[in-house]
Amino acid sequence: MEYSHVPVMWNELRFFLEPVAVKGGVFVDCTLGEGGHSRLMLDEFPGVNIVAFERDPEILKIAQERLSSYGGRITFINANFKTVEDYLSRKMDVHAFLYDFGISSFHFERSGRGFSFRDDEPLDMRLDGESKMSAGDIINHASEMELTEIIADYGQERWAKRIAQFICRARRDTSIKTSRELAELVLRAIPARYHVRNIHPATRVFQALRIAVNDELSAITKSLPAAIGILAPGGRICAISFHSLEDRIVKNEFRRAARGCTCREEQCRCKGVPRISILTKKPVVPGEEEIRNNKRARSARLRVAEKL
């Protein structure tokens, strides 16, 4: 079988994970996808077992087949990583958490769920049954103000208001059904002189919709502190982000956990102690060669912290 997704930043991840892999124990892959990173970890860290989370049952099946030869070394969990605490505990000797946020190349290229503005597919974008509203529901039923907020907040798109106006005007005649219809609408909404070379004008709108449909950011906010709590002392947490909204959450959650006292009183009353030490003062970025070989890697940012 052909796999669509090329795992990003493996060299950098290996550098941070190798020192903890020698202790064995459990590594948690929170974003299994087609299993690219999990397979590399299983091959290169023979003493490690993996617990893998994936919220999308369709891609999970692909990974399960791909990794079937590793038998009991990998346990698959079809769940959102925001629920890690329901499945894992401090007693499990967890030495690493890996997050590789967002969606897989599989979703863009083969899922048929309208993630890509290049294809003409129904506007769905749901990763699992938990998301009640599809992208089409939002596009066709949200108010102009709600659309503006989604596109501005999750897409950081300066033309959000105008795009929302175009969407609301277009849907008065007939509903917007496919990814291509939406992409063409956005193309018309953003004045041509503001189109950026090599980046489709609809990129940010599609990102915003996907984040809103799957409530992606709150899952990260919920999962990181839980993972830090579960990690064994000396264990490491690696998080790869693909846009500044994800990266900001990781940065802030790491900072919060690395801080000791939070009450700032002369005589500390919160008794807060740092729980992690941040190993990457600035996010680590992929090398030039990786970016040349894998365009998707160009926006990847890796942050790593160690449990104290």
Ligand X SMILES: C[S@@+](CC[C@H](N)C(=O)[O-])C[C@H]1O[C@@H](n2cnc3c(N)ncnc32)[C@H](O)[C@@H]1O
By CB under 6 A, name the binding residues for ligand X: 5, 7, 31, 33-37, 53-56, 59, 80-82, 100, 102-104, 127, 219
Annotate the chain with DSSP letters as a single string: ----PPPP-HHHHHHHHHHHHTT-EEEEES--TTSHHHHHHHHH-TTEEEEEE-S-HHHHHHHHHHTGGGGGGEEEE-S-GGGHHHH--GGG-EEEEEEE-S--HHHHHTS-SS--TTS--BS---SSTT--S-HHHHHHHS-HHHHHHHHHHHH--TTHHHHHHHHHHHHHHS---BHHHHHHHHHHHS-GGGPPTTS-TTHHHHHHHHHHHHTHHHHHHHHHHHHHHHSPTT-EEEEEESSHHHHHHHHHHHHHHH----S--SS--S-----EEES-SS-B---HHHHHH-GGGGG-EEEEEEE-
CB of 287 to ligand X, least distance (A): 17
Residue nearer to ligand X on the CB measure, 164 or 297:
297
Residue nearer to ligand X on the CB measure, 37 or 251:
37
Residue nearer to ligand X on the CB measure, 53 or 97:
53
Residue nearer to ligand X on the CB measure, 102 or 114:
102
Residue nearer to ligand X on the CB measure, 13 or 160:
13
CB of 202 to ligand X, least distance (A): 20
CB of 76 to ligand X, least distance (A): 11
CB of 135 to ligand X, least distance (A): 15
CB of 161 to ligand X, least distance (A): 29
